[in-house]
A and B are shown apart, each in its own frame.
Chain A
Amino acid sequence: DGGITQSPKYLFRKEGQNVTLSCEQNLNHDAMYWYRQDPGQGLRLIYYSQIVNDFQKGDIAEGYSVSREKKESFPLTVTSAQKNPTAFYLCASSIPGSGEQYFGPGTRLTVT
């Protein structure tokens, strides 16, 4: 069964702690993306990666970091430098050369 998995579904952290969100896909897609969604706002791009060992900053990369060591995996670390980390985080992947992107189920992060 092909798809994108994100874990965990809900995550709670104390302020000042770094936290890593997992994203795995078995669709054989080259490109992967991380978005953040806040209430009343659309999806905002954090980071994306077109190929293994390469990634680019999106519109709101400050306070986040990523790695892309394997084609299947694109973990996102929310660092303590991110001023307002509480949000719904979505991972996506895309078919090379087409516009279609497919999303995972999301991780809801709450930082108190």
Chain B
Amino acid sequence: QKEVEQDPGPLSVPEGAIVSLNCTYSNSAFQYFMWYRQYSRKGPELLMYTYSSGNKEDGRFTAQVDKSSKYISLFIRDSQPSDSATYLCAHNSGNTPLVFGKGTRLSVIA
């Protein structure tokens, strides 16, 4: 089985809040984990990419992977209205097609 489960939301938070987005996966053979941000009517943009357990930080964004629990998370600190988008988690085993979650729609209210 190669599914990725993701809470679809929508999630609405006030500006400045910490946002937590989560996914669970079932295929432990998949080693690469990604978060994409997709604005309405645009292509997904690669936000975070990791291939190991633990945390990876990039500015206000932190990606967390827990391979023992098959759980991946994206944290957004000091959220801004410009962060309002759909966030997609995905994983694969390298040069293979990505398996996507269905996306979580986030709204950050000013």
Contacts and interface: CB of A to CB of B under 8 A. Distances in A.
Interface in B79-110: 88, 90-95, 97-98, 100-103
Contacts of A102: 46
Nearest to B42: A105
Contacts of A40: 8, 102
Given A40-B102, A41-B102, A42-B102, A98 B95 contact: yes
22 contacts: A6-B43, A40-B102, A42-B6, A42-B100, A43-B44, A50-B95, A58-B97, A88-B41, A90-B44, A94-B95, A98-B95, A99-B92, A99-B93, A99-B94, A99-B95, A101-B90, A102-B46, A103-B36, A103-B43, A103-B46, A105-B42, A106-B41
Interface string A39-51: 0111101001010
Interface of A: 4, 6, 30-31, 33, 40-43, 45, 48, 50, 58, 88, 90, 92, 94, 96-106, 108
